[in-house]
């Protein structure tokens, strides 16, 4: 939108994208993205009430939400989807296989907007691109969100970084990346062996080292923020995740954040 400045010069109104990870981990995930006019939630894996509480705690108004995107049907990503959709009359963007896998759990949705992985769609002035990831769900998706010349990439819940994931996450200004476990802590930790194998497998979760390696491949001059997400409370610490990825950043002036289960990560704005 063109607006007139005091000096009489017409300039473009500046929209800034902001991102707030409200919760991250195996007990619930939800991330807020907004350009100030259109606001969306990517996953709603806590109770509706708790998501509203966390939004308010970050100065965000749940009534301003325009849509919910669902990455996959695991409980830690869908718990509040139905409640929030009904309470705020929100369309839910979800692919068919994911919806089939969770429709009994989420119940009636105010509106369903099916998407297909690989095909972009708009929500307001935001352009959403869902892409396939390797995880033990029916049709799991990562997302890129672009708008006003800014690109955000989100990839959690993936066992392996494929060429497609890497390509989609190129040239982002902000990345939310999974750093699920420290490999040694996972091996030494309390989980039964089959679960350890599932987490380490191609359909499981990325380790700190996987995230660090991916980041070295995605580094570029415009990358401002990296949020490490979906940390395991049993098999990782924020210090270990931060240290592993810091080494990979190798002195680059990128702001590195670690999202927690209890508090997520504060509101980040992309300049």
What residues contact 85, with CB distance under 8 A and at least 6 apart? Answer: 68, 91, 92, 106, 109, 110, 111
Q: What is the DSSP letter of 64?
A: G
Cα separation, 153 vs 145, whole angstroms: 7
Cα separation, 204 vs 166, whole angstroms: 17
Per-residue contact flags (x/-) with Zn ion for residues 16 to 55, judged by CB under 5 A: ----------------------------------------
- Please select the residue that binds Zn ion; options are 76, 173, 178, 182, rule is CB under 5 A: 76
Find out whether 84 and 92 touch, Cβ atoms under 8 Å.
no
Q: Is the Cβ of residue 157 or residue 210 nearer to Zn ion in the bound state?
A: 157
Residues of span 55-74 touching Zn ion by CB under 5 A = 74
Q: Is the Cβ of residue 29 or residue 34 nearer to Zn ion in the bound state?
A: 29
139 lies in the site for Zn ion, by CB under 5 A: no
The minimum distance between CB 258 and Zn ion, in angstroms, equals: 16
CB nearest Zn ion: which residue? 74
The minimum distance between CB 93 and Zn ion, in angstroms, equals: 18
- Side by side, the strands of the sheet bearing 126-132 are 121-123, 126-132, 141-147, 150-155, 174-178, 225-229, 255-258
The minimum distance between CB 24 and Zn ion, in angstroms, equals: 9
- Please select the residue that binds Zn ion; options are 43, 157, 173, 210, rule is CB under 5 A: 157
User: Which residues are at the interface with Zn ion (CB under 5 A)?
Assistant: 74, 76, 157
């Amino acid at each position: 939108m063109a607006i007139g400045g005091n000096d009489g010069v017409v300039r473009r109104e500046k929209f800034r994208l902001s991102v707030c990870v409200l919760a991250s981990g195996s007990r619930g995930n939800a991330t807020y993205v907004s350009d100030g006019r259109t606001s969306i939630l990517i996953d709603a894996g806590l109770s509706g009430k708790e998501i509203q509480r966390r939004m308010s705690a970050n100065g965000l108004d749940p009534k301003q939400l325009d849509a919910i995107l669902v990455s996959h049907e695991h409980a830690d990503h869908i718990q509040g989807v139905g409640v929030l959709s009904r309470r705020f009359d929100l369309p839910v963007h979800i692919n068919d296989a994911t919806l089939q896998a969770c429709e009994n759990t989420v119940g009636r949705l105010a509106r369903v907007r099916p998407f297909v992985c690989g095909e972009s769609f708009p929500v307001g002035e935001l352009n959403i691109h869902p892409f396939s990831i390797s995880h033990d769900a029916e049709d799991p998706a990562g997302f890129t969100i672009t708008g006003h010349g800014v690109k955000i990439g989100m990839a959690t819940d993936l066992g392996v970084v494929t060429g497609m994931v890497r390509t989609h996450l190129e040239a982002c200004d902000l990345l939310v990346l999974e750093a699920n476990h420290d490999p040694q802590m996972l091996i030494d930790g309390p989980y039964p062996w089959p679960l350890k194998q599932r987490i380490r497998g191609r359909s499981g979760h990325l380790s700190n080292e996987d995230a660090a390696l991916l980041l070295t491949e995605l580094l570029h001059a415009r990358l401002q923020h990296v949020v490490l997400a979906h940390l395991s409370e049993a098999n990782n610490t924020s210090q270990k995740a931060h240290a592993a990825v810091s080494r990979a950043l190798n002195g680059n002036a990128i702001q590195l954040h670690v999202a927690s289960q209890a508090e997520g990560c504060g509101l980040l704005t992309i300049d």
